[in-house]
Structure 1
Amino acid sequence: MSRGWTAQDQSDSTAVLTALGNKYSAEILCAAGTPKSAQTLSKDIEIPIATCYRRIEELVDAGLLTCEGRQLSEEGRRTNIYRRTVDEVGVNFSADEPTFSQKRRTEAKNRIQDQLEG
C-alpha cells in the first residue's frame, strides 16, 4: 500500500531525501530486507562500522529503517538488529513542489522473508 506525503510532512520528506542522498544508504536499505546488526551490514556492504552506524541513525530518523530488537553478537554482546520499513520510495518533480510516496513493507512480507532466509 502506498502512502503519499503532504506539505505538512515537509520535514519528514527532507529527512528522507537527505538520508537517501548519503553514500551507502541505499545499499544498507537493500541489505536490510531481513533483520541484521550494524556489524553484519558493515561486513556485507564492506563499509567502515562508524559510517554504517551514522547511516543507520539517519535512516532510522527518516523512518526508512527500524530497530527490530536485540540479539547476541558473536562476541556475546547485545546488539540492535535493523530492518527496512519500505520497499519503494518515489519522488515526483512534475508539480511546483515535489511529492513523495512510499510502499511500506507489511508484517506478512517480513514473516515470509524471515522463513525463506531462516
Structure 2
Amino acid sequence: MSSHRTEQTEPNSPTVLSALGNKYSAEILCAAGTPKSAQTLSEDIEIPIATCYRRIEELVDAGLLTCEGRQLSEKGRRTNIYRRTVDELEVDFSSDRPAFSQKRRTEAKNQIQDKLGE
C-alpha cells in the first residue's frame, strides 16, 4: 500500500467526524502509532478503561483504528491489540459535504516502528 494521499470513499463523513469529535479520540490515535491494548492506551492517556473501549469502538467503526490481533495480557487474558490506520487526515469543507484525504500507514512503516520499539 502506498503512503501517498488518497481520496477516501469509505467510511462516510459523519462516522469519521463523529469519532474524531469525541473527547480522547485524537489522543488514542496519537498513542496507537504502535500496537497497544485498550488497557495500555487507557493507562498511557490516563482515561477510564470503559471510555477507552467506547472510543476504540468508534475509531474502529470509522476505519481510523484497526485490531491487529490478540496477545496475552500480564494477567494471562487474551486482549485485542490496536493500531491507527492513518498518519494524517485532512477534511475539506468547501463542498456540499466534507471530503477526506488521508495519508495511510504502510505495512513497511509499521514494521520499522515495531523494530524500533523493541
Decide whether the 8 Å contact of 1:91 with 1:101 is kept in 2: yes
Gaps of 5+ in 1: none
Asked whether the 8 Å contact 1:5–1:13 carries over to 2, the reply is no
**Corresponding letter in the other structure for 2:5:** S
Cross-structure match for 1:64: 64
More helix per residue: 1
Alignment size in residue pairs? 115
Task: Give the 3-state SS of the residue equivalent to 1:23 in structure 2.
Answer: coil
Counterpart check, 1:83 vs 2:76: no
Aligned: 1:5 with 2:13: no
Cα deviation per residue 1:18-62 (whole Å; 9 max; x = unaligned)?
Answer: 000000000000000000000000000000000000000000000
Match of 2:34, SS state, is coil
Give the residue type in structure 2 aligned to 1:17: L
Is contact 2:71-2:80 (8 Å) kept? yes
Measure, in 1, the Cα distance between the counterparts of 2:56 and 2:115: 24
Measured in 2, the distance between the counterparts of 1:104 and 1:69 equals 19
Provide the secondary structure at the position in 2 that maps to 1:95. coil
Question: C-alpha separation between the residues in 1 aligned to 2:70 and 2:80?
Answer: 4
Match in the other structure for 2:28: 28
| One-letter identity of the residue aligned with 1:5 | Q
- TM (norm. structure 1) is 0.93
Contact 2:13–2:98, Cα closer than 8 Å, also in 1: no
Measure, in 2, the Cα distance between the counterparts of 1:88 and 1:99: 14
AA partner of residue 74 (structure 1): E
Unaligned stretches of 5+ residues in structure 2 = none
SS of 1:88's equivalent in the other structure is: strand
Identity over aligned pairs, percent = 80
Q: CA deviation at 1:14?
A: 1.2
SS at match of 1:68: strand
RMSD of equivalent CA atoms: 1.2
